[in-house]
Amino acid sequence: MSETKTETAAEREAALGGIGCDKRRKEDARFIRGQGNYIDDIKLPNMVFGDFVRSPYAHARIKSIDAEKAKAVPGVIAVLTAADLKPLNLHWMPTLAGDTQAVLADEKVHFQNQEVAFVIAEDRYAAADGIQLVDVDYEELPVLIDPKKALEDGAPILREDVKDKDEVGQGPRRHPNHIFNWQSGDKDATDKAFAGAQVTVKEEIFYQRVHPAPIETCGCVASMDAVSGRLTLYGTFQAPHVVRTIVSLIAGLPESKIRVISPDVGGGFGNKVGAYPGYVCAIVGSIVLGRPVKWIESRIDNISTTAFARDYHMTGELAADKDGKITGLRANVLADHGAFNTHAQPMKWPAGFFNIVTGSYDVPTAHVTVDGVYTNKAPGGVSYRCSFRVTEAAYLIERMLDVLAQKIGVDKAEIRLRNFIKPEQFPYNSCLGWEYDSGDYPAALKQAMKAVGYEDLRKEQAEKRARGELMGIGIATFTEIVGAGPSRNCDILGIKMFESCEIRVHPTGSATARLGTKSTGQGHETTYAQIIATEIGIPSDLITVEEGDTDTAPYGLGTYGSRTTPVGAAAAARAGRKIREKAKKIAAHMLEVSENDLEWDVDRFTVKGVPDLSATMKDIAMAAYSNLPEGLEHGLEVVDYYDPPNMTYPFGAYICVVDVNRHTGEISVRSFYALDDCGTRINPMIIEGQVHGGLTEAFGIAMGQEIVYDDMGNVLGASFLDYFMPTAVETPHWETDHTVTPSPHHPLGAKGVGESPNVGGVPAFSNAVVDAFAHLGVTHMPMPHAAWRVWQTCHELGIDK
Amino acid sequence: MIPASFEYHRPGSVDEVVSLLAELGEEGRVLAGGHSLIPMMKLRLAEPAHLIDLTGVEGLRGIAEVEGAIHIGAMTTQAEIIKSDALAERCPILREAAELIADPQVRALGTIGGNAANGDPGNDIPAVMMAVDAAYVLRGSDGERTVAARDFYQGPFETALAVGEFLTAIRIPAPPAGQGQAYCKLKRKVGDYAIAATAVTLAVDGGVCGQAAVALTNVGITPLYAEAASTALVGTAVDAAAVEAAVEAAVAITDPAADLRGPVEYRRHAAGVMTRRAIETALARAKGG
Amino acid sequence: MAKTDIKLTVNGQEAAGSVEPRTLLIHFLREQLGLTGSHIGCETSHCGACTVDLNGKSVKSCTVFAVQADGGEVLTVEGLAQGGELHPLQAAFAEDHGLQCGFCTPGMLVRAHRLLQENPDPSDAEVRVGISGNLCRCTGYQNIVKAIRNAAQAMREKEAAQ
């Protein structure tokens, strides 16, 4: 039984390729060869292609739709309209936020490029020809673009379908264009704190409408097998099981007859969480025609119709004593959700976790209100590379800290050090109801300041200011809240937001693991294998990880909100531990000792005090199928459903340095330092890659991205010609660093990291830009900091000549 | 994002192109690098019934020096412009501008003729051609004629090209001795259209400016030749006052649209900043050799 | 619309097909030849996911008609590895974590391949300019730049050894 080889424990541990090593990614083997299998690569026999006729108007009544000419185009097979879907009750569909959304415009269009008809043809060329020939007669209606006007008396009523309803899924509302009012905190105590404050500051802060815009757009292939009655739906889904449940509810098919497959997904960032009309139309098309139907978004469709993010008009207020110690916080938000409330977040949270707005700071009392409104814009409100509305919250508090620092004349690092939650206060209960698990904020900021030479930078800045030059230093010391979530307060359609992992250890000592999450580029096939390797002592190279097929994976809620590591990885670790528990019983039988006499040793159980007497996991695996103690079931397979006891709270300290050209308004990012603390680090190489990517997306948002509408509701610039996508040339060099403060409640101590750089990156950039003008009395500048906007500030200050 | 159907023609000679264009009239369009036209076709903003691909036409490609002047075939790609050391020696502004157009892939196929002739006010080459006082060689069924770049542009996507005509070559007169050139472009990112850009050529002799030309990109419905700005420099020492006068004169003729690249006021201001920068750079280069 | 027969060399092999004049090269490669490595990300020739090598130039195959490539030579990501051995760029992208979702990767690799033909020893800045026609939303480019430079070095060393 004992091994003859005398590898040290360290050597055996290294051979596992487990937690903590920079394991190269398993998925890369296919991607670098062009052998990924993305949605548009899927080609089924007899497959046809569907695409949309879209509305040129933002608000209009549909008087008639004439598809006869389109149907006459060679290759066009069918044209679906709302009238065709109505008998099936599929012309509207429920949203994850309790509202309803038109699948195909029913009598009215509510935003430009809304789906009006679905043309199905033999290929995408014929479909495009057909789309051009569908005649739609519209009667234009008054357009509402400004959310601030949405709640005025006499504002055009957008959603006639719900105009008489007292609520649309998220509590009482007060106007036909009002969706919800959500509050958190103690209003009276907050009012009192402000009334008695030595210092107060207030700022209007708008976080503009942006889009996740993964390089692969959304799409699907629906294939209904008329004989078996089974529907297979391939698609770009971050949450395949949730899609299956939604499809079942919408289409009335039993879930056992629906198989949802997410193949390789070319980036998600929140864009691929929701359910879109394209999915429903492809399914209906397949049912009607008995042929597989493919739908693939164009880039313009992607940016102008599916899953925008942010669009939060925020007012932030801080009360403080004369030294800058915060005594109260107020935040009021007007949230523009567009034409339908299709935000994708846990259902009890219409404004997501916006009440993390107290950030990394010990704020004694606070009050927050968020009002959602309808406008004639694309529907949504998804979490673009962030946990639900955390980016908006972090942006507000990190900006407000700077505003306060400027007001009382304290350094922007110092104001943070004075207000941080102290290490000894953890677990920390915030005044808005969150229990922060762990953190050491002062240590992180001090390490960051030292790394960048903060004092010297401030000296240099002072010298430059004396010469009339503009240089800004931006700090963001953010706290994220991720890992939705605990069943007591997180659900989607009533389904609790647990995560799952099934592990099957095979007789010859390898394993297959299946999970309910779905990688969209984060490298789950590698990192889950690392976790399981460490837990069960089988090399990660011998562990195959599968996700994204609802026929094989256990039910899970998917990947978004940085929940894979906090929830999915916990399930993986716990499933591994269940394997080990059973393995221990088998090892005891094999070694003829009591379980109590065994100890775990990297990849085997060893008899305590007799290191030569051991059973390796490989041997135990075979024994599980061949040599079991009495009373134990065969096999070595488990499944774990993990309901997290709490969220995790990754944090970071970012410092950005910019130079500003006062003649042109151009910003040059001189350096960017990012320290992240995501608790236990599973694969440092992948963590660093996630940080690079998140910072780059933050750079795009802060410096140029915005979905702009004109007064007529025309969306301006929804292609990559106009929508600002940084190339390698503009993208700054990123310097990364870390501290490690494990989560006390997570089985591995890990917290998640993918979204931190976006949450912390945006305020770091913005704070740096504003800081460049701080000595001139500027306290806030609107995002994105495109050169023209920055120039406007220079111009108003008279320093642009 | 699929173009409408069309018929494809791939002539081998200029004469064939001319007769195809004569036959097809407004239904025919020439296809050069395709990087303006094909996206327009995919958006169905352009639906030509016939495309005449110039790729196989003999004699439309290449850079040559003819009696001191520079002749560039219309189908010469931006990549070839950049690669030509001889051209960079004789007329460096072409490389400088071409490097600011789009990205490597687009420059591999995108042609100088296409950029010059399609009439998009956002294109970079037209202002450069105005600054070097180039002439465009046009061929049609009535034979060949030349039109000065400065007279070529009439409106957005409207040019002096008549139906049945196409651009075959660009002729640039020998740059005078002591000329400095510069193209300065303010843009949001690599490959983007200019917020504003200015092309300048100027020659100094004994400290006095003997020749100057200023032209602007993407700040009007056409590329703009800034005649008054050019005149404001000639005969001066290109001192601060002269530069100021030229900048003011250049800005005065701008009439940009507000778009995602900025409001009107900013883009006019940017035109001034780019003009100043281009004059100063061209002057330094003129003095430097 | 009448179809045209075209013939070209793709990854060293003869390929033929019948296409409408408007058929885009990317669709010909993906749909008719089954070479799905090259992707479509924007359709307006900005993202570069569709980048292939055509007659020794990097081009965006969403902005080239298949008929234009008639008689030409095309290299796609599927043709980079030779004799079962990964191209140094492919090896370096995996080694240096130069990819995440993998969607931009084929276009990025084929573009980098041409870049290194043009400039076997590019600086960081030259690599960044060289790949400025290829957008990546995942990596922030930093590891891509690193991978391309490391591949360049490996290729130079290999060349020197021969």
Taking chain A (801 residues) in runs of 10, the rounded mean pLDDT of each run is: 68 97 98 98 98 98 98 98 95 92 97 98 98 98 97 96 94 96 98 98 98 98 96 97 94 96 97 95 97 98 96 98 98 98 88 97 98 97 92 98 98 98 98 98 98 98 98 98 93 93 98 97 98 98 98 96 94 98 98 97 97 96 96 97 97 98 98 98 98 98 97 95 96 98 98 96 98 98 98 97 88
Residue A52, sorted as left (phi over 0), alpha (psi -120 to 50) or beta, turns out to be beta
By a Cβ cutoff of 8 Å, what residues of chain C touch chain B?
A: 1, 4, 20-22, 24, 43-46, 48, 51, 57-60, 63-65, 67-68, 111, 115, 129-130, 132-133
**Cβ distance A614 to A600 under 8 Å?**
no
**Cβ distance B52 to B30 under 8 Å?**
yes
**Residues in contact with B8: Cβ distance below 8 Å, sequence separation at least 6, in sequence order:** B50, B51, B53, C4, C21, C65, C67
Is the sign of the CA dihedral A137, A140, A146, A150 positive or negative? negative
- pLDDT of A412 reads 98
Q: Is A132 a catalytic residue?
A: no
Element (H, E) at B17: helix B14-24
CA nearest C98 in A: which residue? A689
**Cβ distance A130 to A79 under 8 Å?**
yes
Q: Is A386 a catalytic residue?
A: yes
* Strand ranges inside A633-792, DSSP E: 637-642, 651-660, 667-677, 708-709, 715-716, 735-738
∠ Cα A168 A173 A174 (to 5°): 140
∠ Cα A62 A63 A69 (to 5°): 95
C40, two tokens? 């479509």
**Cβ distance B215 to B206 under 8 Å?**
no
Calculate the CA A249 to chain-centre distance.
Answer: 24
Under CATH, what is the fold of the domain B63-172? 3.30.465
Calculate the CA A364 to chain-centre distance.
Answer: 29
3-state SS, residue A233: strand
Which among A27, A689, A694 has the least Cβ separation from residue C102?
A: A27
**Residues in contact with A340: Cβ distance below 8 Å, sequence separation at least 6, in sequence order:** A95, A99, A100, A101, A102, A110, A159, A374, A379
Q: Distance (Å, rounded) from C-alpha A449 to C-alpha A414? A: 11
In angstroms, the separation between the Cα of residue B174 and the nearest Cα of chain A is 34
- Measured CA to CA in angstroms, residue A739 lies from A420, A676, A681 at distances of 17, 7, 10
Is the sign of the CA dihedral A65, A70, A71, A77 positive or negative? negative
- pLDDT of A325 reads 98
| DSSP one-letter string for A492-546 | ETTEE--EEEEEEE-TTS-EEEEES---SSS-HHHHHHHHHHHHH-S-GGGEEEE
Q: Are strands A92-94 and A135-140 parallel, antiparallel or unpaired?
A: unpaired
Cα torsion A479, A484, A487, A488 to 10°: value is 30
Element (H, E) at A446: helix A441-452
Pick from A614, A613, A210, A617: nearest CA to A384 = A210
Catalytic residue, candidates A291, A461, A755, A794 = A755
Q: Are strands A48-54 and A293-296 parallel, antiparallel or unpaired?
A: parallel
A533, two tokens? 């390797």
* Residue type, position A434, single letter: W
CA nearest B1 in A: which residue? A298
3-state SS, residue C147: helix
Predicted complex ipTM exceeds 0.95? yes
**Residue A215 and residue C47: Cβ atoms within 8 Å?**
yes
- The number of residues in chain A equals 801
**Residue A664 and residue B273: Cβ atoms within 8 Å?**
yes
pTM to 2 decimals? 0.98
Give A-chain residues touching B2 at CB under 8 angstroms. 124-125, 127-129
Q: Is A755 a catalytic residue?
A: yes
Q: Distance (Å, rounded) from C-alpha C82 to C-alpha C158? A: 15
Pick from A478, A480, A312: nearest CA to A400 = A478
In angstroms, the separation between the Cα of residue A730 and the nearest Cα of chain B is 7
3-state SS, residue B70: strand
Q: Distance (Å, rounded) from C-alpha B64 to C-alpha B76? A: 11
Which among A666, A786, A800 has the least Cβ separation from residue B269?
A: A800
Q: Distance (Å, rounded) from C-alpha A468 to C-alpha A458? A: 15
Given the structure tokens 């050391």, which residue do they identify? B85
In angstroms, the separation between the Cα of residue A313 and the nearest Cα of chain B is 21
**Cβ distance A505 to A538 under 8 Å?**
yes
Q: Are strands A60-66 and A308-320 parallel, antiparallel or unpaired?
A: unpaired
Task: List, for residues B19-44, the tens digit of each pLDDT value.
Answer: 999 999 999 999 999 999 999 999 99
* Residue type, position A125, single letter: Y
Task: List, for residues B52-92, the tens digit of each pLDDT value.
Answer: 999 999 999 999 999 999 999 999 999 999 999 999 999 99
Give B-chain residues touching C65 at CB under 8 angstroms. 8, 34, 38
Pick from A734, A756, A454, A603: nearest CA to A10 = A603
Q: Which of C46, C105, C137 to mutate to test the interface with A (most CBs of A within 10 A)?
A: C137
Give A-chain residues touching B267 at CB under 8 angstroms. 788
**Residues in contact with B103: Cβ distance below 8 Å, sequence separation at least 6, in sequence order:** A727, B190, B191, C48, C132, C133
Which among C44, C68, C132 has the least Cβ separation from residue B104?
A: C132
Catalytic residue, candidates A385, A389, A574, A662 = A385
Which among A33, A40, A719 has the least Cβ separation from residue C42?
A: A719
Q: Which long-range contacts link B232-238 to residues 24+ away (Cβ below 8 Å)?
A: B233/B202, B233/B209, B233/B279, B234/B209, B234/B210, B235/B208, B235/B209, B236/B208, B236/B209, B237/B207, B237/B208, B237/B209, B238/B202, B238/B204, B238/B209, B238/B279, B238/B283
Q: Distance (Å, rounded) from C-alpha C46 to C-alpha A721? A: 7
CB-side neighbour CA atoms (13 Å) of A123 = 10
By a Cβ cutoff of 8 Å, what residues of chain B touch chain C?
A: 1-8, 10, 34-35, 38-39, 41-42, 51, 53, 55, 79, 102-106, 108-109, 190-191
C33, two tokens? 């030849």
Q: Distance (Å, rounded) from C-alpha A431 to C-alpha C14? A: 70
A392, two tokens? 């908006």
- pLDDT of A5 reads 57
Given the structure tokens 């100094």, which residue do they identify? B204
Domains defined for chain A, CATH in brackets:
9-36+499-642 (3.30.365.10), 39-141+217-265+273-305 (3.90.1170.50), 393-481+647-797 (3.30.365.10)
Element (H, E) at A319: strand A308-320
Pick from A345, A354, A437: nearest CA to A395 = A354
* Residue type, position A406, single letter: Q
Q: Distance (Å, rounded) from C-alpha A129 to C-alpha A680? A: 54
∠ Cα A251 A256 A258 (to 5°): 50
Listed by number, the residues of chain B in 95-134 with a beta carbon closer than 8 Å to a beta carbon of chain A are 103
**Residue A788 and residue B263: Cβ atoms within 8 Å?**
yes
Under CATH, what is the fold of the domain B179-288? Enolase-like; domain 1 (3.30.390)
Q: Are strands B50-53 and B7-9 parallel, antiparallel or unpaired?
A: parallel
Pick from A460, A458, A310, A438: nearest CA to A739 = A438
Give C-chain residues touching B6 at CB under 8 angstroms. 1, 21-22
Element (H, E) at B150: helix B149-152
Burial annotation A331-347 (CB, 10 A radius, 16+ → b, else e): bbbbbbbbbbbbbbbbb
Strand-pair partners of B187: B194
Task: List, for residues C113-162, the tens digit of each pLDDT value.
Answer: 999 999 999 999 999 999 999 999 999 999 999 999 999 999 999 999 98
Q: Distance (Å, rounded) from C-alpha C6 to C-alpha C74? A: 13
- B36 backbone dihedrals φ, ψ, rounded to 5°: -100, -45
| Residue boundaries of the structural domains of chain B | 7-53, 63-172, 179-288
**Cβ distance C102 to A266 under 8 Å?**
yes
Q: Is the pLDDT of residue B289 over 70?
A: no
Domains defined for chain C, CATH in brackets:
4-79 (3.10.20.30), 88-157 (1.10.150.120)
* Strand ranges inside A322-438, DSSP E: 326-336, 366-373, 380-382, 428-429, 435-436
Give C-chain residues touching B188 at CB under 8 angstroms. none
Q: Is A385 a catalytic residue?
A: yes
3-state SS, residue B41: helix
Full 3-state SS string of A15-62: HHCCCCCCCCCCCHHHHCCCCCCEHHHCCCCCCEEEEEEECCCCCEEE
Under CATH, what is the fold of the domain B7-53? 3.30.43
pLDDT averaged over every residue in chain C: 97
C120, two tokens? 């076997």
**Residue B42 and residue C21: Cβ atoms within 8 Å?**
no
